[in-house]
Structure 1
Amino acid sequence: MSSGGNTTTVYGGDEISAIILDPGSYNTRIGYAGDDFPKVTTSSFYGQVGNGKRIFGEDINVPRENCEIKPILKDSIITDWDAAIDQYKYYFEDTLKVDYKDQPVLITEPIWTELPYRQKLIETFYETFDFAGLYLAKAPTCISFQQGRPNCLVVDLGHDTVSVTPVIDGICLIKNSMRTNYGGRFLNDEIKDFVKSRDPKIAVEPTYKIKTKTPTVYPDPAEYTVKKTIPTTTESFNKFQQQRIWHEFKETALEVPERKLNSTNPQQALSIKEFYSQDSQKRLFEFPTGQSITLGLERFQFAESIFDPKIYKFSDENIAKAYPPNNGEIKISSHYNEYRPLKRIRKPESNQSTPAPGEGDDSSEKIRGLSHLITHTLSTIDIDLRASVAHNIIVTGGVSLIPQLIERLYNELSNSNPGLKIRLHAVGNSSERVNQAWIGGSVLASLGTFHQMWVTKHEYNEAGADRILNQRFR
């Protein structure tokens, strides 16, 4: 790959074989630009055995003595740099056989990354891997490219966070964006708290421990036997395996109710709860022990907490402390000017009916659910862009796959914003929806005109980190 200044030559993504790296809090995705899906989708956790060796991928689910399971990222930001480097090197060299000298890398990043983190990320990649070129792309920008919508509102329901980001001409409006921690991990902790506080008769054991089991339904006790030959595992390993149970619970049992469960009218609230407690609404969830529990209203209450995080009250105070009240506002220092729309003369008889910031969106509350986050974000966007953005709301992330979530969100947004034509875009293919940021990066890096966007190590050293980050990686 040439590092010269000749930008007249157009290269396609298949000619340079760029690498796309999409680090997420739950999964990390790696693959080639131009592909439809990543070659590697691996856990963003790793196992560390007693001799210091690190284990990645599905191997971390194999029980071993003295093997600690640790996270690599939190809120999509790398927290364990040594483990991250080892993991990326493992997949770059052993799986993808990357030729660093001839292949550039595009790395997706969340909108809330600070300047020191971005500097460390770039320096680490240049020094450790010596890629031919590098580019940092905001995840919402990649998602907008994947959908082919330069002006949109990206609603990302991830594992650690839920974020709402306006994207205008491919540039993220960070000052108008919002983020909360009421995402997939929040739902997992609700399920864990519910099961553990309900009854000690509910046996929760990881799959690797079970030798035989007999199907039973709670309140009947679980009937199973445990393997005797398994090694003595660590507490972190057992917790990680239990998290997989809560994750499966969330994916298979939850469903968003059509109407709010917390109605201000007591009689209406009672009728709603009675409706969702009917036998036709009940589902069974089977634990690895073979014991099943019947879920009626509870499975709707868990899903309802996406829209109203206050609806579930934690029994375990330690879990409750992990989720302090959050209204979604992001405080981040930005060193560059964001997109500024052309100022137009506004007519005094404007009929926009979206509530102004601080009105009609429960802004007095310290906690904002999904609909309130989106409504508040729309109200802060320039009035000339608001209609275009409201017409292109992209819903993505694994949590968005919960049944009936899109329908409920559309109804609430339409009621909250009567002056706007709301249109939601959610990809029907579940694999595509959870990989949207990676796919967008693949589309972006495979464009022939993107060749001039790569930044080489020589250019980085010559121009300096500040200039590259502020002017090139927007």
Structure 2
Amino acid sequence: MYCGDDVEAVVGDVGTSLSKFGLAGEDTPKLVLPSIVGLRPPSTKNSKDDVSAASAVLGDLWHRKDLEVARPIEACAVSNWDALENIWSYAFERLHVDAKSHPVITSAASCFANDALHNAASRDGEKYLEMMFECFQVPAFYMAKDAVLDSFAFGRSVALIAEIGAGASRVVPVYDGYALERPAQYSSVGCNQLSEYLEHLVVTSKPETMTVRPRGTFSRKLNQQTGMLETIPLSEEFTTPPAMPASYLKFLKADLFRDMREATCIMSEIPLEEHQDSPMHGQKALSPEPLPLEITEQQYELPDGQTVVLGKERYAVPEFLLHPKNFGGAVVKNEQHAAAAAKVMAKGLHRMLYDAVHLCDADLRRDMLTNIILCGGGSLTPGITERLHAELTRMMPSTFKVRFTTISKIERQFSVFIGGSILASLGSFQQLWVSKREFDEVGAHALCADRFN
């Protein structure tokens, strides 16, 4: 047992896309940075004055075209422990705290419905303990399920957490501070897959051939005769420029389509025409005759000055969250997306909510339906709450009321951090810390099995 009343705990949430860090008791994280690490390639020169002498570059300094890009988290599991260690080390430095003097609380993914990821999360917990106690020598450590932290963020003892993250989507019922394992739902569809689908639509669906150039892959030069800026590709074949690693180019393209998706995409109020199936047995129809969707076009200017006009694509991309099977069938034609499409589960987010509720005990179902919390970066898509409410209301009997908790954008994006900040500040929580002494006496495997599973 460790009592950390005297010292503020460090709260960290390392996600697939963003990492958030701060101190317990804070409303928002002090430090938010991309969950990527720039790795310096082998250098032929031995220059002590060169910034590239560092083996890993994070934060503002990582925007350099000669760096390989490594991600610590992929699909809710740790994929690169060196990168994860670098991010935590950078966080302690930027927060101006001594890791040896501050307990640390972090989040663990609630991937109960996927056995492989659940087992991987258990192994990750053991390595996390070893990293914190052996590498950073923290006095105490704790890992909490992200769904539980989401419920703490909004003061709910009973909640149905629907989180749309960058690498996956999860629906987890929480009761009295515990994430319920049996009803939990998991889908490999997340914001990254939505961005990939948007890329697929932009590149293949337009009548004219369009070359999408991320920043750093071209230069702009003023034409003296016309007075117009001309785009000059750094490579005639538009492949990776010699000084730019492939992983960096991949990140640039993913970031471009992420920004395009966030700026233009919107969830339609009704299903797209190809998804307007007849209602299942016991379900209510949306309307006697489904109305056609009114398409509103929006322009997006690419970094090289080209303009993309998005019409139906704006609505088709978020629809993937509700109809992933159709997306997989379309994208599997593109070889580069074949692996991702093979992992797609043919269960929409509304169906995940429905199944999670029905797998709960009968006396919990009404409370779950009236305390639905939609969070994660994907929940910021305009119209998604209203659409999910309509779909779930149609699927449930009329005697059940569906209510989504009203949440601000900041709370949606940082809910896991906020929950960890609240939890670590509670006096009743201090007895739950895992101390360095316990780690030395019991070991990582036994501690994870007893405390974190």
* TM-score normalised according to structure 1 size: 0.80
In the TM superposition, what is the alpha-carbon distance from 1:415 to its structure 2 partner? 1.1
Indicate whether 1:165 and 2:176 are aligned: no
Q: Which moved more, 1:148-157 or 1:204-213?
A: 204-213
Query: Given that residues 13 and 416 in structure 2 are in contact (C-alpha distance below 8 angstroms), is that contact kept between their aligned partners in structure 1?
Result: yes
- Kindly provide the amino acid, as one letter, of the partner of residue 191 in structure 1: L
2:277 maps to 264
Report if aligned partners of 1:210, 1:224 keep a CA contact under 8 Å in 2.
no
Gaps of 5+ in 2: 43-53, 112-117, 223-227, 236-240, 279-285
Task: Tell whether the 8 Å contact from 1:18 to 1:445 is kept in structure 2 after alignment.
Answer: yes
Match of 1:370 in 2: 349
Alignment partner, residue 195 of structure 1:
202
**What do residues 277-326 of structure 1 show as CA deviations (whole Å, max 9, x unaligned)?**
3xxx1111111111112221121111111111133312413303312265
> Is the 2:147–2:172 Cα contact (8 Å) retained in structure 1?
yes
In 1, Cα distance between equivalents of 2:372 and 2:173: 9
Q: Return the match for 2:294 from 269, 272, 276.
A: 276
Q: Within 5 A, what are the aligned runs for 1:73-152?
A: 73-92=73-92, 94-112=93-111, 113-114=118-119, 115-152=122-159
Identity, % of aligned positions: 28
Give the deviation of 1:467 after TM superposition. Answer: 4.3
| Structure 1 equivalent of residue 70 of structure 2 | 70
Q: How many angstroms apart in 2 are the aligned matches of 1:177 and 1:400?
A: 18
Segment of structure 1 superposing worse, 389-398 or 455-464: 455-464
Check if 1:405 corresponds to 2:405: no
Q: What are the within-5 Å matches in structure 2 for residues 41-56 of structure 1?
A: 41-51=32-42, 53-56=55-58
> How many Å separate the matches in 1 of 2:313 and 2:255?
20
State the partner residue of 1:57: 59
Is the Cα contact below 8 Å between 1:426 and 1:433 reproduced in 2?
Answer: no
Provide the C-alpha distance between the structure 1 equivalents of 2:213 and 2:151, rounded to a whole number of angstroms.
41
CA RMSD of aligned residues (A): 2.6
Distance 1:465 1:282, change over 3 A: same
Structure 1 residues 397-444: Cα deviation after superposition (integer angstroms, max 9, x where no partner): 11111111000000111111123211111412x222111001100000
CA distance in 2, matches of 1:202, 1:259: 30
Q: Does 1:320 align with 2:338?
A: yes
- Counterpart Cα distance in 1 of 2:452 and 2:293: 51
Alignment of 1:69-468 (within 5 A): 69-92=69-92, 94-112=93-111, 113-114=118-119, 115-198=122-205, 201-212=209-220, 224-226=230-232, 232-261=243-272, 262-264=275-277, 275-277=293-295, 281-312=296-327, 313-314=330-331, 315-324=333-342, 326-327=344-345, 367-418=346-397, 419-428=399-408, 430-468=409-447
Work out the number of aligned pairs and report it: 409
CA offsets 1:207-265 (integer angstroms, 9 cap, x no match): 23454489xxxxxxx97323879972122211111111100111011111111112237
Per-residue displacement from partner, 1:364-413 (whole Å, max 9, x unpaired)?
xxx10010011011110000111111111100011111111000000111
> Secondary structure, in 3 states, of the residue corresponding to 2:259?
helix
Change (3 A) 1:228 1:469: closer
The C-alpha deviation readout for 1:436-455, integer Å capped at 9, x for no partner, is 00110000001122221111
Q: Deviations over 1:331-364 (max 9, x none)?
A: xxxxxxxxxxxxxxxxxxxxxxxxxxxxxxxxxx
Q: Tell me which amino acid in the other structure corresponds to 2:416.
A: A
